[in-house]
Amino acid sequence: MMDKSMILRRFGIMAEPDTIVPIGGGHINDTFKAVDSSSGRAYILQRINHNVFTDVELLQSNIERVTAHIRAKLQSRGENDIDRKVLKFIKASDTGKTYVRDGDSYWRVMLMIEDAETRGEITPENARNAGKAIGHFQEMLSDIDGGIGESIPDFHNMELRLRQFRQAIDADPCGRLAQVTQLVEELKKREGKACMAERLYREGRMPKRICHCDTKIDNMLFDRDGEVLCMIDLDTVMPSFVLSDFGDFLRTAANTGREDDPDLDNVEFDIDVYHAFREGYLEEAAAFLTDVEIAALPYAAERFAYMQAVRFLTDYLNGDTYYRIAYADHNLVRARAQFKLVQSIEQRFPDRPTL
């Protein structure tokens, strides 16, 4: 058993074990809320999954630079309440770093943002706010100097994801392929289209910018009035296509069902959320986007529902080594739900510009 109180003490926080409770529904890291007994202040304690984030030093250096840059930007623009608009990581008293190592585990601590909540349900009104928030996030990071490294190399590279998928199919290490051949075929049919952004990049028509790369709705904090406070989960901030942030939000927020909905009838693409989100996003982002990026936006939701179907099914074939699962065929259920979303998007966007 890891002694979380001891870990927190290294960050100067005193918390009784019974005030440290699991929180959040992330698939990768382990997250806890803890309350400092002297100040009453709440903190978030996270164990970093370093099988996924193998270079913790790079990961935390990215995050420190990104949060410092956003903080400075908000200050220079005269914003108030800044500790609720950007994450603040705590430095360990012994090493001065924003993480500590304990045996095989790496831990970090941040201030918990007060009076904030995630939203499972989205209305067109808060979809618009979310669009503005994502555009604003990209805009604030557009002038960060020096390179932000890739905490997971080629994270949103569809061609790589498809190579990993094919490897899992060829190896079939758990003998699970036979029961998913139809889904595999459906996904294979769409490979070429899914890699459109990579093709545009090679043709010099699609740039990379600093993006969040995990804009699922759970990674956005709202205040009580439904205004977006900030983006959380900054592990994957890195250069990518803006489609990453546009698409992953819609993949989650415009899905009328759940990411892992076992009832596929629940899963449809909500076109009203799409339009409201796009409008909000363009209010902030139109000034820096190219014409090709704007024209490609209708492809983004499909790209990410598809990528997620491929990633979940790959993990299922590999024996569930990457994503945390709650039951035996969870990754398959997730993959089917994401593929249903792809189909729904295809139906709702029959004619899109050829790029």
Please give the residue ranges that form the binding site for ligand GN1 (CB under 6 A).
Answer: 26-28, 52, 214, 216, 219, 233, 235-236, 259, 308
Asked if residues 228 and 132 have their Cβ atoms less than 8 Å apart, the reply is: yes
The site partner of 280 among Mg ion, ligand GN1, none (C-beta below 5 to 8 Å per kind) is: none
Residue closer to Mg ion (CB basis): 233 or 245: 233
Residue closer to ligand GN1 (CB basis): 73 or 334: 334
CA distance 318 to 315: 5
The site partner of 52 among Mg ion, ligand GN1, none (C-beta below 5 to 8 Å per kind) is: ligand GN1
The site partner of 82 among ligand GN1, Mg ion, none (C-beta below 5 to 8 Å per kind) is: none
List residues binding Mg ion (CB under 5 A): 214, 233
Q: Which residues contact 87 (CB under 8 A, 6 or more apart)?
A: 63, 67, 110, 111, 113, 230, 232, 234
The site partner of 56 among ligand GN1, Mg ion, none (C-beta below 5 to 8 Å per kind) is: none
Least distance from C-beta 160 to ligand GN1, angstroms?
13
Residue closer to ligand GN1 (CB basis): 12 or 25: 25
User: 3-class SS at 110?
Assistant: strand
CA distance 292 to 336: 31
Least distance from C-beta 25 to ligand GN1, angstroms?
7
The site partner of 98 among Mg ion, ligand GN1, none (C-beta below 5 to 8 Å per kind) is: none
Question: Positive or negative, the Cα torsion across 163, 169, 173, 179?
Answer: positive
**What H or E segment, with its residue span, contains residue 111?**
strand 105-111
**What H or E segment, with its residue span, contains residue 34?**
strand 30-35
Amino acid identity of residue 289, one-letter, is L
Least distance from C-beta 107 to ligand GN1, angstroms?
16
Least distance from C-beta 59 to ligand GN1, angstroms?
10
Residue closer to ligand GN1 (CB basis): 260 or 293: 260
Least distance from C-beta 234 to ligand GN1, angstroms?
11
Residue closer to ligand GN1 (CB basis): 214 or 270: 214
Least distance from C-beta 214 to ligand GN1, angstroms?
5
Alpha-helical regions (H) of 235-348? 243-253, 271-285, 291-296, 300-317, 330-348
Q: Which residues contact 155 (CB under 8 A, 6 or more apart)?
A: 213, 236, 238, 240
Residues, the chain: 355
The site partner of 245 among Mg ion, ligand GN1, none (C-beta below 5 to 8 Å per kind) is: none
- Using alpha carbons, select from 352, 112, 99 the residue that is nearest to residue 232: 112
